[in-house]
Structure 1
Amino acid sequence: MHYHRHLLRWSICLLVGYTSALAAGPGERPGYLPRTGAHVDSLPHITISKGGDAGHYQAFSDACRLRNGDILVAFYAGDGHVTYPSETYPKAGRICMVRSRDEGRTWSKPVTIYDDALDNRDSHIAQMSDGTVVCTFFSLRFEEKIEQASGQSLVHYGSPPRRYVGAGMHMIRSFDNGNTWEKEATVVATTKADYYCSAQVREMPDKSWLLPIYHQARSKDQAWGGVVISRDKGKTWAEEIPIGKESGRYLPAETDVILLKDGSLYAALRGSIPHQVNMHYATSKDLGKTWSAVSDIGFQGHAPSFTRLKSGAILMSYRAFTDNNDSKKGYTGLRISYDDARTWQGPYLVDKTWGAYPATVELKDGSVLIIYYEEGKDSGIRALRFTVPPKSTQPISLDRPESLKTLSLK
């Protein structure tokens, strides 16, 4: 999820990065030294969806707890990082969902909740206070094939050489806890093209809905974060409000936000390793109408996702890096803030797989369930249960993330 896979130039960059990663072997990254030396296979994760009806490649997952206690996970399903229309996937990629009724121990078979003629991707799911379950995503539209020189591959995972462009952000709703969904998606309209989303809708104290978004125009080398706000439960959305647009930094933001204890909002924005820009943050004192200037958060990260725990601490799960300037050193990571986002304790190793795009749900016993994806051929969706790291003043080295204390899901 960040990142977003919208233009040919970006596909080429991803292909180069993936080829380099393969040279290190499955699940390994050159120079990667987790603090405890734990290998991915020693972590007690479970695979909650892989192959089968949901397709050959599953990614960009998100999770939410329903008021009835169920946990829903929505994710992208197709045959690769971008799923091109084919005989097997005539409608390209789609949005699927699985459900757990027992705190993440067992999961339903995947079901398709949305699939149109576009490549629907990067779904995020949340339940509002009135019980409505909202799933947001963005889509890609394919154009003509690209002529290429013999022996040259221009796209990720060897898919057919096709141009694709952003086809907008969309939303579907369920009024029965995710059992059925709207057949037609609502378009989250913006005044300009190249806006995307990679986070849940967040309900504000005034009952407005806020969707974190981001703008990414590769052709112009421009990227920043933003939000859009709805005051009629998603029927219409106000004009986008940018975050970091005037900073001059390239922030392909995959924005997420969280409400702080003082009533302000805190937004995290993905960084860009090629541009040597770390993850950034900004704050709003008026529920997203205006934003502060962006500031460097101090480390690199993609696809940040926030969860407020019952204790008051904030979890940030994200695609982390053991080197802020090396895209080959990614892993699924976590940080925690005990001072309401002023500082971030960590980094912690969730899994050496670098797909990430994680989301967390606090379980009834106080432990945490984290959902994330693998990346690569036959990518699946994983779940891991862990105990919350205690507050500590002991620094953790960026290049040696500390392993979490994990718990069984069986």
Structure 2
Amino acid sequence: MQKATLVPIATLTLCCSAGLLAPSPIAAAAPDQVGGFALREARICVTGFDHNRPDPFPGLGDFIGWVGDVVRLANGELLFVHSAGYWHVSFATPIQLNPNLIEPYRKAGLDPQHQAPTGGRIMACRSRDNGLTWSKPKTVFDGKLDAGPSATIVTDQGTLLQIINVQASWYGFPEAPPGHQKLNTRQLVIRSTDHGHTWSAPVPLQSSGNYYTRGRSRGLQLPGGRLLWMSYDMNRGSRVLDGTIHCSDDDGKTWQVLSVIRRRKPDTDRVATADLVVSGDADALLQLGTPSDTSWLNTDEGDLGRLSTGRLVLVVRPDGGTLISDDHGLKWQQISRVGPKYVYAPHLVVLADDTLVLTAGGSGGQCVFLSTDGGKNWSNPIRIDPGVYGYGKLTLLKDESILLAYVHRHAAPQRCFLVRLRVNATRDGIELLPIGKSP
């Protein structure tokens, strides 16, 4: 097992999948919002280009990698899932890009001459001491095209599921060039009944968009066993992203589309209007016709949580729109926004007293937001690590401390970080804790 390393704090230029963001001054969190250990003492590197690096494989560069979920396996181990490749998107080569994208991508770190016959792959590290030390990364999935982790789920039966984002080797065209995967991105599911040592053959997840389907929400299991997972989707000819709730009633073997979500742009600052969200089966959205991006708002990256009342909460990019469902995920309405600043890569856990803990980027590095009223109101951003790109994911532990996994940069050289935190008793700040001390 590799001892995790403490890594110096750096200031970076932020970037997102939609394009580069200009650098901006980043303020540290208020002293009374972040207590406990100093970040430099609390933060560890689990794997990266310069620590606990994967063994070489064809195409591996220094992008290690996008973090997936950290999950507690049925055997007690922690599994830290991540990608490994060479860039922000580790396309399998050869790549066919819209000519207008080549120079911007090159400036963002892409080497068009890099050879990666199967692109990036999904890997994972294991810990038997609550995250203090980690095994060397091992391959979870390597297909013919670039693969990254969308969600890692441990079901109540102990089954381990991995939802896989498969990226085609083309980008920037209205439809797939001849000879390429038709969907720009699609999702697969694999299952393991031996804690991730062996895996089933991949099964395609029904795509709810005919241009691409992507996602990074957690898999949420309801009482009774139903699994929910949220994706965001685009159709050819549209410039608006719809959200989709997928469900499985057989321990992740098969999945169906439960609900599709589209959001209207508010005409004022009001967001709690009854008609702001259209949701339900796909027929409800087909009746709307092809959406115009002037009247609809993207339902982008999102994550799901469940309150003790049974109410579901969904928070989505780009505005931190907070949606609720009281019928197990079929119909949704919006009750607030985490914004108004830009919110990307939201990820959510719910404490025993129904406090919502959200991590997201867009307000300066990796931040946490808190809500004590079911998402009607949110705290200002609590900046955990102001100098990183982020794209974090949260894992709730038995003692109600939380693991936060996130990345260092938008491009190579890349590292995967981990911190442990706890929301304070007054629910208005967090404390950083040592890793490896929790049950």
**One fold, TM greater than 0.5?**
yes
* 1:259-288 alpha-carbon deviations (Å, 9 max, x no partner): 1122121111111xxxxxx22121111111
Unaligned runs of 5+ in 2: 1-14, 94-113, 174-179, 266-294
Q: Is the 8 A contact 1:304 1:318 kept in 2?
A: yes
Q: Is the 8 A contact 1:198 1:256 kept in 2?
A: yes
Asked if 1:256 is matched to 2:303, the reply is: yes
Match of 2:78 among 41, 65, 71: 71
* Residues in 1 aligned to 2:85 and 2:316: alpha-carbon distance in whole angstroms: 27
* Residues in 2 aligned to 1:95 and 1:357: alpha-carbon distance in whole angstroms: 16
* Residues in 2 aligned to 1:331 and 1:392: alpha-carbon distance in whole angstroms: 21
By how many angstroms is 1:211 displaced? 1.2
By how many angstroms is 1:144 displaced? 8.9
* 1:242-267 alpha-carbon deviations (Å, 9 max, x no partner): 22345543325112111112212111
Residue 198 of structure 1 corresponds to: 216
Residue 185 of structure 2 corresponds to: 167
Structure 2 counterpart of 1:239, which letter? V
* Residues in 1 aligned to 2:181 and 2:203: alpha-carbon distance in whole angstroms: 25
SS of the residue corresponding to residue 139 of structure 1 reads strand
Distance 1:354 1:228, change over 3 A: same
Q: Is the 8 A contact 2:406 2:416 kept in 1?
A: yes
Residue 382 of structure 1 corresponds to: 417
* Residues in 2 aligned to 1:144 and 1:365: alpha-carbon distance in whole angstroms: 44
Distance 1:196 1:294, change over 3 A: farther
* 1:260-339 correspondence runs (5 A): 260-271=307-318, 278-293=319-334, 295-299=336-340, 300-321=342-363, 330-339=364-373
* Residues in 1 aligned to 2:397 and 2:253: alpha-carbon distance in whole angstroms: 32
Q: Is the 8 A contact 2:312 2:329 kept in 1?
A: yes
Residue 367 of structure 1 corresponds to: 401
Distance 1:144 1:171, change over 3 A: closer
SS of the residue corresponding to residue 117 of structure 2 reads coil
Q: Is the 8 A contact 2:170 2:184 kept in 1?
A: no
Residue 103 of structure 1 corresponds to: 130
Asked if 1:347 is matched to 2:354, the reply is: no
By how many angstroms is 1:341 displaced? 2.7
Distance 1:35 1:291, change over 3 A: closer
Q: Is the 8 A contact 2:245 2:329 kept in 1?
A: yes
* Residues in 2 aligned to 1:281 and 1:362: alpha-carbon distance in whole angstroms: 20
Residue 233 of structure 2 corresponds to: 215
How many residue pairs get matched? 350
* 1:54-81 alpha-carbon deviations (Å, 9 max, x no partner): 6411114321222333221211211000
By how many angstroms is 1:225 displaced? 1.7
SS of the residue corresponding to residue 133 of structure 2 reads coil
Structure 2 counterpart of 1:209, which letter? L
Q: Is the 8 A contact 1:61 1:357 kept in 2?
A: no
Match of 1:235 among 248, 253, 258: 253
Distance 1:217 1:345, change over 3 A: same
Match of 1:117 among 116, 125, 144: 144
* Residues in 1 aligned to 2:250 and 2:370: alpha-carbon distance in whole angstroms: 33
Residue 31 of structure 1 corresponds to: 25
* Residues in 1 aligned to 2:172 and 2:215: alpha-carbon distance in whole angstroms: 26
SS of the residue corresponding to residue 42 of structure 1 reads helix
Query: Higher mean Cα deviation, 52-61 or 278-287?
Result: 52-61
* 1:52-91 correspondence runs (5 A): 52-53=53-54, 55=60, 56-57=62-63, 58-86=65-93, 89-91=116-118
SS of the residue corresponding to residue 233 of structure 2 reads strand
* Residues in 2 aligned to 1:383 and 1:144: alpha-carbon distance in whole angstroms: 31
Q: Is the 8 A contact 1:61 1:373 kept in 2?
A: no
Task: Tell me the percent identity.
Answer: 23
By how many angstroms is 1:92 displaced? 0.4
Distance 1:71 1:353, change over 3 A: farther
SS of the residue corresponding to residue 340 of structure 1 reads coil
Q: Is the 8 A contact 1:304 1:316 kept in 2?
A: yes
By how many angstroms is 1:294 displaced? 6.7
Q: Is the 8 A contact 1:60 1:121 kept in 2?
A: no
SS of the residue corresponding to residue 54 of structure 2 reads helix
By how many angstroms is 1:355 displaced? 2.5
* Residues in 1 aligned to 2:350 and 2:307: alpha-carbon distance in whole angstroms: 9
Structure 1 counterpart of 2:313, which letter? Y
Structure 1 counterpart of 2:45, which letter? T
Distance 1:292 1:75, change over 3 A: same
* Residues in 2 aligned to 1:4 and 1:217: alpha-carbon distance in whole angstroms: 21
Residue 150 of structure 1 corresponds to: none
Residue 44 of structure 2 corresponds to: 46
